[in-house]
Structure 1
Amino acid sequence: NVTKDNIDENREETVKKPISLPKNLPLDDDTVLNEVKLTDDSILTSPDLSPIEQVLIMGIMESYRRSRAQERLTDEEVITYLSFILNCVNNWNVAVTALVLRSKMERDSRRRVERSMMQLEELVKVATSPDSSPDISSRIPLFYASNVPPVWSVQRDLASLLLSLGCTGHALDVFEQLEMWDDVITCYQKLGKREKAESLIRERLAIKETPAMLCYLGDVTRELEPYQRAWELSGHRNSRSMRCMGYIYFQEQKFEKAIECFSTSLKINSLQIPVWFTYGCAGMACQLFDVGVKAFKKCVSIDYDNYEAWSNLATCYARLQQKKKAYATLQDALKCNYDNWRLWENSLIIGTDCGEFEDVIRTYHRLMDLKEKWIDTEVLGILTRSVIENIPDADGIPAGRLGGKLMELFGRVTSKVTSDGEIWANYAKLSDIKIGDKQPDIEKTFQYLQKAYRCFTQKADWEKDFVTCRKIADQSIHLVEVHKKCCQGKAQQECLRLLSSAKLMVNGALVKVKKQHTDPITQELSPEVLDTCGKLETSLTDIRSHIEETLRRS
């Protein structure tokens, strides 16, 4: 019978015996500690445990690891278990298993990967060198209970780690020794030795044709025929061959054939995220946006943080005229990548189309955080019109309530961008209306319109373009009306100054337009500017009459 006293006696005997163990390499890092260190030094961290107890702890640890999601926090917890076991280990097989598992856990840590590599090299050296290994009696106890990995498995882990670190040549030597031909071919491809890879593949195919080797041949030669043979040889069950053919068709811009191949591959294996993404892109290229929606929805259901898939899904919804869904999808994309200005730009445009005016103002502020001098005059114009005309937003609430927030946005925009006439013109429109308890400010309206007019007329050769001529004429006439409003309640001299300024402005615009569009032979104006010049002349006449009236009052 096994009793507690017997276990204690076995533990004492185990501790007293001289033990042969594999070397446990220290971390030697100036930031990360070699092992877990408790703040209270009085706590016993390494009690004496028998080999059976050590194996039991490893079993509990492994059960815990397999029941949790694969993430860094779980790995750190497992490494703590392993550190505890390695501090009191007294069995060769337990030590080997613990060191191998710790090396696997540490391979993804930038500060621990060097020890992981060196530890695996040490274990391989001990296993393959008779002089370094202990006698058989030390390696037999608890061999099966510890689940010791075979030496070739440790060598494979070492080679995979070397390959991930860029030591492709050393990894190639190990894979060749182990006759892991798939990995050997991968190494040749990484080294750019396509001829050697093709030669090896053909040697293996001469021995036996397999779908995997045929796919490798297609990868090297970039031909369709090996993939087609692999597909037939597998009995139409090899998803890789169809996937690779799809990629080749996609690169050749044969999108319809690419869609067929991707669809077949995904029916066999539906968890291929890159294939779903490329499948969706092929659908978009063929204007099959319903295919794109299906592909990108599946893509984000597997990998929620794929912001590019969210963005493309929003594009597909927008092209299908489902703007509400497109806008909601973009909000998910922004959760995954909050600093991508292109996503914010798309959200701005689609949000404007959907009438999400309050969110659009907030989005514009975010764009200016990311790109200081960001401007979109069309969006600002729509927001201005929605506030002035009190247009209902997406929720049916009138947009007039957003006047204060929009004024704040214009203040920020004009502090960074001072040379855009459209922005100043829209700012003037907002200043000329009542916003909440704030009355229209005619002085600010006058200032903003003057700045808008200067921005429009500072552009070289503006008078050559008919559209620009009409725009500047309308701006001049509007500015004349504001000049007249500013004259109300002011002294005569100030009124004359304002009206004279307006007269010079309108006369300057009229002279430039006439000079550019008058035929030098017939002295006739171009029909496209007749209406524009007529409006300017009417406005000029009106100003002159106001000046004369002001002088008569004096």
Structure 2
Amino acid sequence: MALNHSSPSVPELVHSLSLELWPQSPFSKAVSEAAAKSKASKDQLLDLAVCSLNAFLQQNYIGPPLAFDAYSIFSGAADNNDRFSSNCIAELETDSEAAYSHAEVAHLLILSLALLNYLGSTTSDKVVSKWLARALMVHQSLLSAPASTLHDQIFSSLAASMPSDSSRSSHETIEYFLEVARASIYYSYDSRAVQALKDAQEASGLEYKLTGVKAVRTKYQQREFANLVVLARSNSDQVKGSTQVSVLPAALPLNSDMLLEAPRYLNVEETTNDSEKIDDADGDESVPSALMEEDPNSPSVLADIDSCILLLTQYRIRSVSPSNNPLTTEEVLAYISRIVSSSTGVQDSPYVSGKVNWTIFSRALWERSVLESNSAKTVERGTLQLASLVDELGIASASTAVVHTDAVAAPVEDRLKYIHFLPLLPRWKMDLALATQYLSLGMLRSAQEIYGRLNLPIENALCTAAAGNQNEAVEILETYLHTPHVDTPRAWSVLGDITQKPEYWERAWQEGKYAVAKRSLGEYYFKAGNPEQCIVHLADALKINPLNRQAWFLYGCAGLESQQYELAAEGFTRCVSMDRDDAKAWSNLATALLHMGQQSGAENLKSKESLSALAEACRLNQDDWRLWSNLIVVAAKLENWATCLRGVVRLVELRGDKEGEGALDLGVLRVLVQALVSDKFSGDQNGADPEKKQSFFERQAIKLITERVPHLVTRTPELWMLVAKVEQWRKRPWAALETYEKMFRLAVAEFESDETSETKWKSAVDSCSMLVDAYTNLGDMPGRLSSGDASQVVCKDWKWRAKTSVRSLMSKGKRIWDDSEGWDRLIDMRDDLK
């Protein structure tokens, strides 16, 4: 049976088997022919296949570098290693999915695949099938997307490698289910992954529970809150095989003035007794009795194979959950923290060697760092930890980050032991993740160095340009464009982005119908104030990729700018069909529909469609007062009073505190009040509705006019008049009269602020006239506390109050306005009250 052999045995195996491989294209064919002619046994060929696969993994995934020249181990070595390597990478292309172009020693993977395929065709050995499935997963990890051919081969090989019930050991069973779970997660078979993880857990005897335990997370926190935590305990037989001390990468401390290094938990039993538990995914709240003894502050050491189960579980959770979801992050961190915190068994000592495998611990640290780098409180530790883990591979290759010459490298055997039970993470993906993190923090030079090491000139040029060295970026791209490449159109497009010269985007379109270049041309002409030309280029881009939402949005904006409203409506309709949560697209769609509604014969229909679009925009962005203002106008035009009222109420909530009565549209309030009082009031004088016949619109409109508007009025007397009108309609004459009095006082105060203003003088006279009429009509009506008593009226001395109001205004306006029309009206009112 082939085991995880150390990779330096590859040259010895090739030599001992007398395999004369002539590195020609296709290389797999040469390997198969050489294996068929060889006198080597099946076990010898299997050993060579396994060791070749491990050598490839060592060079590209885990380090350290190979101690032999992988191109000179065969008697028929290639004359040109670079050309041979390029041919091998091209040979790994599957289902039109290209392999990573800078993978090293790709011929070793082809050697392994070819030997395993040859052995698989000549024997039905379960071990061969197992290693073939592993090699195919490595092959899949090199491709840019899942390949159906590899998918079928992987799952068929896994099925053929299933241990028999009579012969399989517990460890073989766990390994098998973990590999099934890993493949299922990669290909998005969630139910299959869940079942495989459950089977692996049962075979291992692992007990774990995701629950909630009270804890403090900061140094000054006085009160405990529930935190997600994974309580886990391995089977004692499994732990016995994981007691040897391993060389581990450094787990960097948080070094925070606020946060603790790890949450400090209360006793699990105490939390359980207080019923402070959090439901898990299965809805089972009970914590197994064996886990009640687990102390989250000092957890027991897990068996390595059980740590793999927990790691795969968090990968599965992330694969089926929304990205950047806080709840998902907390849940995933609970699984990762269980592995990290138990790896050393020593709190506050993150640098000591621990009882956990190097691959498992480094992967847990990597996943924790990716999550922490997205939080402002932990971004420093997360970023430094990412760099530190990349440096661990720097021991393996000069193409990664800064090499630590004083670092202690874990043995290759330890790094390879569990690599086939976890999702594969090539070192270039780690480098790219670190470069992306550097970019997000503005560390452009550091990101540029990584892109340079990875031989990614286009990304290197983008970073160089972002750092302010535009000429250097242009030089990088021009050098790259001297020879043809697969991504030459993209290089021309990026050159256009840097220089803002349209001819480069045109060249990118000519080279390969590169849709991004046409989108860039559209943006260029839109910013230049030429929406017609923008529409032409965006139309070309959308023919190539009609699912680009940003292009449709700009297409719609160009339509609005050029007054091609049908075209604009098409663009924004496409946007909202792809993302119904795009509030801006809904708002712009409403604008386009409104303009279309101005055309003859389409007014009512398009206005209704516009109102629906605005309502959706307001639902998605409830804090944009401009959207609500537009909604109010359109709803009032369509006499949709319920929607209009909702918009006015929301506008008051958003702007009332800052703008006061500026948040109110007087014209809209007029029509709302008119719509309200046009029907008979359904309640009694106290607003009660014993028969429950009062409509929602009526209740909300009364609340707005009589409760919210009075708190906002500061300058406009007519607003008080509208309130009084509603109070009178509600059969509350005493409240209406009080409101008329407030209206008059406000009008007089406004007039006194500028006695030379004819407008304010007329407003004061009008208010006085309405107040006198109110005294006349309402004064003798039953008061609030009348209860059938005729002597209890709204205002007994209404005539005296009316005379006093008229005389007061006359005394204030006599000096300037004694010969005006308003003065004559006051005299008439005074005479009528005698």
TM-score, reference length from structure 1: 0.78
Which string of whole-angstrom CA distances, capped at 9 and with x for unpartnered residues, describes residues 304-357 of structure 1? 443322322333333333333333333333333333322332333333333343
Name the CA shift for 1:543/1:471 in 2 (closer, same or farther; >3 Å): closer
Task: Output the CA distance in 2 between the equivalents of 1:51 and 1:215.
Answer: 48
Cα distance per residue 1:232-278 (max 9 Å; x no partner): 111x2x22111101101110121122223223323433443433332
Q: Counterpart of 1:342 in 2: which secondary structure?
A: helix
Greater Cα offset, 225-234 or 135-144: 135-144
Within the candidate set 358, 364, 367, 1:98 is matched to 364
Distance change in 2, residues 1:49/1:309 (3 Å): same
Alignment match, 1:43? 294
CA displacement, residues 406-438 of structure 1 (integer Å, 9 cap, x when unaligned): 47525543433322133234345445x432x43
Task: Name the counterpart of 1:379.
Answer: 668
Tell me the CA shift for residue 171 of structure 1: 1.9
Q: 2:741 aligns with which of 425, 437, 447?
A: 447
Return 483-492 or 274-283, whichever deviates more.
483-492
Unpaired segments of 5 or more residues in structure 2? 1-166, 173-203, 205-234, 269-291, 344-354, 396-404, 598-605, 682-692, 781-795
- Please identify which structure carries the higher helix content: 1
User: Which residue, 695, 701, 711 being the options, matches 1:415?
Assistant: 711
Q: Name the CA distance, whole Å, in 2 between partners of 1:445 and 1:13.
A: 86
Instruction: Report the Cα offset of residue 214 of structure 1.
Output: 0.6
User: Larger relative CO (CA 8 A, sep 6+): 1 or 2?
Assistant: 2
Between 301-310 and 35-44, the greater mean CA deviation after superposition: 35-44
Q: 2:454 aligns with which of 161, 169, 178?
A: 178
Name the residue aligned to 1:259: 535
Report the residue type matching 2:442 in the other structure: G
Q: Which amino acid aligns with 1:198?
A: V
Name the structure 1 match of 2:20: none
| 1:125-181 deviation line (CA, Å, top 9, x unaligned) | 222236532343443434444455333332222222122122222222222222222
What is the identity, as a one-letter code, of the residue corresponding to 2:504? P
Residues 493 and 17 of structure 1, relative CA distance in 2, 3 Å threshold = closer
Q: 1:206 aligns with which of 482, 495, 498?
A: 482
Give the equivalent residue in structure 1 for 2:568.
292
Match of 1:275? 551
Partner amino acid, structure 2, of 1:34: A
- The match for 1:520 is none
- Of 39, 61, 66 in structure 1, the residue corresponding to residue 319 of structure 2 is 66
Match of 2:511 in 1: 233
1:500-544 C-alpha deviation (Å, 9 max, x unpaired): 56877998897565xxxxxxxxxxxxxxxxxxx5x985x578557
Secondary structure (helix, strand or coil) at the match of 2:615 reads helix
5+ long unaligned stretches in structure 1: 514-532
**Residue 3 of structure 1 corresponds to which residue in structure 2?**
169
Matches within 5 A, 1:133-532: 133-208=409-484, 210-234=488-512, 236=513, 238-321=514-597, 322-371=606-655, 372=657, 373=660, 374-390=663-679, 402=698, 405-406=701-702, 409-410=705-706, 412-430=708-726, 433-435=728-730, 437-439=731-733, 443-444=737-738, 446-448=740-742, 450-451=744-745, 453-454=747-748, 457=751, 459=754, 462-463=757-758, 511=818, 513=820
Deviation at 1:226, TM superposition (A): 0.7
Aligned counterpart, 2:248: 21
For 2:390 and 2:804, the matched residues in 1 are separated by 95
Mean alpha-carbon deviation: is it higher for 347-356 or for 35-44? Answer: 35-44
Counterpart of 1:215, as a letter, is S
Tell me the secondary structure at the aligned position of residue 207 of structure 1: coil
Inter-CA distance 214–145: structure 2 relative to 1 (3 Å threshold): same
- 8 Å Cα contact 2:576-2:582 kept in structure 1: yes
Q: RMSD value over aligned CA atoms?
A: 4.1
- Give the conservation status (yes or no) of the 8 Å contact 1:327–1:350: yes
Contact (CA 8 Å) 1:361, 1:409: kept in 2 or not? no
Partners in 2 of 1:160 and 1:492 — Cα distance? Answer: 81
**Shift of the alpha carbon at 1:188?**
1.8
The change in CA–CA distance for 1:505 and 1:117 in structure 2 (over 3 A counts) is: closer
Question: Aligned AA for 2:321?
Answer: R
Give the total of aligned pairs. 516
Query: Under a length normalisation based on structure 2, what TM-score does the superposition of the two structures give?
Result: 0.54
Partner residue of 2:125? Answer: none
SS at 2:248 equivalent: coil
Contact 2:755 2:761 in 1 (8 A): no
Instruction: Determine if contact 1:506/1:540 at 8 Å carries over to the other structure.
Output: no
Aligned-residue offset at 1:230: 0.5
Asked whether the 8 Å contact 1:106–1:113 carries over to 2, the reply is yes
Give the 3 Å change call, closer, same or farther, for CA 390–189 of structure 1 in structure 2: farther
Tell me how far apart the structure 2 counterparts of residues 53 and 511 of structure 1 sit (CA, whole Å): 98
Distance 1:155 1:42 in 2: 41
Contact kept in structure 1, 2:755 and 2:813, CA below 8 Å? no
Q: CA deviation at 1:476?
A: 6.8
Q: Counterpart of 2:481 in 1: which secondary structure?
A: helix
* Cα distance per residue 1:353-401 (max 9 Å; x no partner): 3334345445434333332202321112222333344499xxxx99998
Bigger mean CA deviation after superposition, 94-103 or 154-163:
94-103
Which position in structure 2 is the counterpart of 1:521?
Answer: none
**Distance (Å, rounded) in 2 between the aligned partners of 1:510 and 1:218:** 72
Contact 1:215–1:240, Cα closer than 8 Å, also in 2 = yes
Identity of aligned residues (%): 24
Distance 1:185 1:151, change over 3 A: same
For 2:576 and 2:651, locate their aligned partners in 1 and report how far apart those are by CA, in whole Å: 25
Q: Secondary structure at the match of 1:34?
A: strand
Please state if 1:111 is matched with 2:373.
no
Change (3 A) 1:398 1:248: farther
8 A contact 1:499–1:543 mirrored in 2: yes
Aligned letter for 1:43?
E
Change in Cα spacing, 1:84 to 1:474, as seen in structure 2 (3 Å) is: closer
Match of 1:525 in 2: none
Residues 493 and 504 of structure 2 are in contact (CA less than 8 Å); yes or no, is this contact kept in structure 1? yes
Aligned CA distance change for structure 1 residues 323 and 505 (closer, same or farther; 3 Å): farther
Gap change, CA 1:388 and 1:51, over 3 Å in 2:
closer
Identify which range, 40-49 or 125-134, moves more after superposition.
40-49
